[in-house]
């Protein structure tokens, strides 16, 4: 009994003496500096998916280092050591229930942790340094306030979206979004739809996603590239509702998709003025924190009909002149496919009397006249790609990239013809690109590109992989084939690889954007994620940028369109048209 009392008194005496020892601060200071350099400095200095992952893991690792330092090596009183850790955990848990949905769901629900821990660590180390000579009472009070404020402040913020490099567009939670500002302006617009005459005596200039062949390649147009002497001329700039849709263009009209409040919209506009002609709306709203609200796919224009797929699977067939509904189906319900995390993104493909849509990795075909379902394909796993028409050895077929690889489907029966199996951790997003008949480049997103040869001998399909290259890791950005080379993006940087062996020729500026190719001019038109418009030579010898201008404000995840001398671009906030100067004019 006396021995226990003696030990207790000795322990109390020991704690009293340690309370007056100076804090050991240098490990915490060093750890938080390294944490911020890894978490935020490294991805800014060297953009790319690999360095983003290193930064994220470094932020968490050094967060743990700071906890270990404080708990075991700081010399702080044990009440402060344990109290701080318990309060941090409680504050993080409590705050997670009060966050704006954009922060709570971003980065697959991990954004709050990945961003708040470095901020909390920095605030805590600054507090420890600033209050080291103050009284215990003041130190403990300010410690609690520092933890509560540095964590709780996240409830005051929202994010308007994330860039391809993982950077967030933060705003005050109560400030109006671009969509809300548009809705307040559009209250003055007439709600009466007009009609427009859709030309039928000429070919449709740009029928939908990435052009007629879904490859972004344009023939018969050459533009002046000296933009200091002949710069693009702004025709008009208009606000638009959010969405990742591109355009379908014919004559003096164009079509796109957008979100306005609780309504998912298919819109028809005048190309010359940007004025609205008609709008069709469905009472549905899709939202995810990376790209924001709104539809993801692009309208398809065939004849006098517009075919659209909404982010939740609503398939509409509309009169192109009036917006009147010809028929509508919920393709997601028909196929019993759940809405993907980032929504349904595939643009409809019309083949003969069928319209074919991708619901994740499953294709569904409908009769264009009646809307009656004709067939559903096998499910290849999650996909954000669009159905792609090709002909191999005289056989028409629909290709779809998905998590498991590439699948070929007979457009008449919906049966699988062949499959290229290359499972991935991530879902595939991009379109296949055709080198020549039966010779493809398939994007493996962050795992690079594969060249695959497909042939049919006496009714038996053969699929052979020639090579896989990690020298162009595309993720979700375009790539284009031109004269034996592929031009696309290795992470954020534009790059060129040789199709013969997948070896990289060069790597250029960090556009992380979308491409059009003027094939007759060996010229790439680049719309960057930052909204810049650039011209780059499509030449394998070296990277050469010819011109660059700011074109559109805000993060841009929408494909541009060039029809004649008019270039259209948009993002989730605004759309814009420029008139380019053609060669010889």
Q: Give the rounded percent of residues in the chain with a pLDDT score beyond 90.
A: 82
Predicted local distance difference test score (pLDDT) of residue 371:
96
What pLDDT score was predicted for residue 425? 80
Quick one: pLDDT at residue 12? 43
Helix-helix angle 26-36:49-68, to 10 degrees: 160
pLDDT for the residue numbered 20: 55
Q: Which of 12-16, 216-220, 466-470, 580-584 has the lowest mean pLDDT?
A: 12-16
Q: Indicate the pTM of the whole model.
A: 0.91
Mean pLDDT of 22-45: 91
pLDDT category, 164, cuts 50, 70, 90? confident
Torsion angle defined by CA atoms of residues 207, 212, 213 and 219, in that order, rounded to the nearest 10 degrees: -140
Taken in order 152, 156, 160, 165, the sign of the CA dihedral is negative
Say if residue 582's pLDDT is above 90.
yes
pLDDT over 50 (residue 124): yes
Q: Residue 267 has what pLDDT?
A: 97
Query: What's the CATH superfamily of 178-579?
Result: YVTN repeat-like/Quinoprotein amine dehydrogenase (2.130.10.10)
pLDDT-derived band at 313 (thresholds 50, 70, 90) equals: very high
Instruction: Taking residues 47-69, report their average pLDDT.
Output: 87
Per-residue burial over 209-244, b if 16 or more Cβ lie within 10 Å, else e, is bbbeebbbbbeebebbbebeebebeebeeeebbbbb
Asked whether the predicted pLDDT for residue 411 surpasses 60, the reply is yes
Q: Which of 198-207, 359-368, 402-411 shows the lowest per-residue confidence on average (mean pLDDT)?
A: 198-207
Q: The tokens of 287 are what?
A: 């939202």
Cα–Cα–Cα angle for 499, 500, 503, rounded to 5 degrees: 70
Confidence grade of residue 427 (pLDDT, cut at 50, 70, 90): confident
pLDDT per residue as tens digits for the range 128-137: 999 999 999 9
Terminus-to-terminus CA distance in the chain, angstroms? Answer: 104
Residue-wise pLDDT for 253-297, tens only, equals 999 999 999 999 999 999 999 999 999 999 999 999 989 999 999
- When pLDDT is averaged across residues 70-98 and rounded to a whole number, the result is 95
| pLDDT above 50 for 13 | no
Please report, rounded to a whole number, the percentage of residues in the chain having pLDDT higher than 70: 95
Total residue length of the chain: 585
Tokens (6 digits) for 68: 């270990």
Model pLDDT, residue 167: 84
Q: Which residues contact 546 (CB under 8 A, 6 or more apart)?
A: 225, 226, 227, 523, 535, 536, 537
Tokens of 499: 């199709």
pLDDT for 23 beyond 60:
yes
Q: Which residues pair with 233 in a beta bridge?
A: 579
* pLDDT at 233 exceeding the cut of 80: yes
pLDDT at 193: 80
- Confidence band (pLDDT; 50, 70, 90) for 10? very low
Check pLDDT > 50 for residue 298. Answer: yes
With a cut of 70, say whether residue 32 has pLDDT above it.
yes
- pLDDT grade for 445, boundaries at 50, 70 and 90: confident
Backbone angles phi, psi at 171, to 5 degrees: -150, 160
| pLDDT tens figures, 177-224 | 999 999 998 765 655 688 888 887 788 999 999 999 999 999 999 999
In which residue are the tokens 């909204």 written?
531
Per-domain boundaries in the chain: 2-172, 178-579
Distance, C-alpha 123 to centroid of its chain = 32
Given a cut of 80, is residue 14 above it in pLDDT? no
The dihedral sign for the CA sequence 204, 209, 215, 218: positive
Taking the CA of residue 104 as centre, how many other CA atoms within 13 Å lie in the half-sphere pointing to its CB? 13
Residue 3 pLDDT exceeds 60: no
The confidence score (pLDDT) of residue 444 equals: 86
> How confident is the prediction for the chain on average, in pLDDT?
92
């Amino acid at each position: 009994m006396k021995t226990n009392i003696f030990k207790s008194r000795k322990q109390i005496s020991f704690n009293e003496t340690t309370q007056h020892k100076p804090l050991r601060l240098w490990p915490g200071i060093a750890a938080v500096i390294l944490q911020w350099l890894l978490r935020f400095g490294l991805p800014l200095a060297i953009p790319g998916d690999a360095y983003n992952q290193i930064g994220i893991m470094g932020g968490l690792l050094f967060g743990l280092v700071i906890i270990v330092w404080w708990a075991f090596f700081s010399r702080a009183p044990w009440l402060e050591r344990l109290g701080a850790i318990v309060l941090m955990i409680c504050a993080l848990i409590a705050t997670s229930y009060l966050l704006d949905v954009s922060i709570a769901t971003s980065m697959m629900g991990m954004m709050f942790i990945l961003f708040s821990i470095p901020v909390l660590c920095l605030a805590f180390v600054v507090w420890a340094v600033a209050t080291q000579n103050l009284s215990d009472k003041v130190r403990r009070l300010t410690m609690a306030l520092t933890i509560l404020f540095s964590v709780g402040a996240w409830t005051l913020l929202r994010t308007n979206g994330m860039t391809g490099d993982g950077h967030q567009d933060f705003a005050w939670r109560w400030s109006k979004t671009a969509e809300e500002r548009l809705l307040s302006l559009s209250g003055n617009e007439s709600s009466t739809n007009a009609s427009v005459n859709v030309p039928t005596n000429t070919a449709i200039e740009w029928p939908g996603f990435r052009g007629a062949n879904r490859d972004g390649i344009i023939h018969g147009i050459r533009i002046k590239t000296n933009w200091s002497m002949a710069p693009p001329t702004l025709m008009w700039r208009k606000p638009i509702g959010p969405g990742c849709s591109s355009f379908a263009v014919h004559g003096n009209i164009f079509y796109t998709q957008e979100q306005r409040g609780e309504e998912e919209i298919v819109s028809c506009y005048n190309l010359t003025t940007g004025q609205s002609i008609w709008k069709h709306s469905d009472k549905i709203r899709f939202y995810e924190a990376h790209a924001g609200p709104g539809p993801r796919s692009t309208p398809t224009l065939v004849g006098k009909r517009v075919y659209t797929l909404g982010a939740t699977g609503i398939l509409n067939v509309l009169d192109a002149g009036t917006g009147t509904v010809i028929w509508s189906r919920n393709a997601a319900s028909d196929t019993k496919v759940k809405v993907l995390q980032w929504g349904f993104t595939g643009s409809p493909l019309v083949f003969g009397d069928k319209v074919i849509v991708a619901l994740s990795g499953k294709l569904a075909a409908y009769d264009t006249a009646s809307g009656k379902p004709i067939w559903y394909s096998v499910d290849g796993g999650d996909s954000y790609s669009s159905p792609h028409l090709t002909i191999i050895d005289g056989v028409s077929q629909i290709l779809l990239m998905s998590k498991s690889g590439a699948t070929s489907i007979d457009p008449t029966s919906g049966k699988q013809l062949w499959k290229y199996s290359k499972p991935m951790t991530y879902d595939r997003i991009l379109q296949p690109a055709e080198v020549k008949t039966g010779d493809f480049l398939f994007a493996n997103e962050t795992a690079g590109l594969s060249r695959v040869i497909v042939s049919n001998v006496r009714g038996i399909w053969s699929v052979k992989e020639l090579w896989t290259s990690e020298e162009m890791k595309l993720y979700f950005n375009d790539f284009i084939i031109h004269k034996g080379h592929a031009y696309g993006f290795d992470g954020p940087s534009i790059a060129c690889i040789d199709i013969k062996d997948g070896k990289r020729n060069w790597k250029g500026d960090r556009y992380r954007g979308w491409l059009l190719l003027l094939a007759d001019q060996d010229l790439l038109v680049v719309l960057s994620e930052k909204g810049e418009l650039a011209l780059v030579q499509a030449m394998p010898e070296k990277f050469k940028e010819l011109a660059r201008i700011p074109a559109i404000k805000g993060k841009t995840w929408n494909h541009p369109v060039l029809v004649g001398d008019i270039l259209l671009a948009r993002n989730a906030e605004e759309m814009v048209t420029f008139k380019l100067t053609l060669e010889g004019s």
